Amino acid sequence: MGYREIKVTTHSHTQMINITGQVREIVSQSGIISGVCYIYVPHTTAGITINENVDPDVVSDIIYVTAKMVPWEDGYSHIEGNSAAHLKASLMGFSQAVFIDGGKLVLGTWQGIFLCEFDGPRQRKVLVKIIEG
C-alpha cells in the first residue's frame, strides 16, 4: 500500500485548517482496524499539528502567539523573504502519527489535526500513510 493525498487550498497568509475529517475518511476507506496513521506535509512553509478543534479561539491564539514569537520582518538573510514562514513550519513540525484502533483514529475528545499554513494562500498537499499492526 502506498499513501493517499489530501489537497488543501488555503485562503489566508496564515491559517490553520482542520483536516481531521479527511484523515478519518482515509482511515475508514483503508479498512485497517489496528495500526498507525502517519500524516506528513511535503512543504517547507506549512506544518502539521494536533490541537483543540472545539473552541476556534485556540487556533486564533496559536496563530497570534507564533506571529509574536517569529515576526515576519526581522533582518533575516533568506532572499525569498519568507523566513518567518519556514521557521514557524519547523516549530510545528512536518508530520504527526496517530494510532488507529477499532478502525478509528485514537484522538482525544478535543483534538483535531490541522494543516498550518504560514505563507499562503497556496495549494497544499498532505500525505497520509497507514501502517497496519
What are the residues binding Zn ion (CB under 5 A)?
Answer: 80, 82
Alpha helices in the chain (DSSP H): 20-30, 56-69, 83-92
Residue closer to Zn ion, measured from CB, 24 or 122: 122
Residue closer to Zn ion, measured from CB, 10 or 30: 10
Pairing of strands 46-52, 111-117: antiparallel
Residue nearest to Zn ion (CB): 80
CB of 93 to Zn ion, least distance (A): 18
CB of 34 to Zn ion, least distance (A): 40
Q: Contact 15/88 with Cβ under 8 angstroms?
A: no
CB of 122 to Zn ion, least distance (A): 12
CB of 101 to Zn ion, least distance (A): 39
Decide: helix, strand or coil at residue 25. Answer: helix
DSSP 55-85: -HHHHHHHHHHHHHHS-S-SS---TTS-HHH
Residue type, 25: E
Residue closer to Zn ion, measured from CB, 112 or 120: 120
Residue closer to Zn ion, measured from CB, 93 or 103: 93
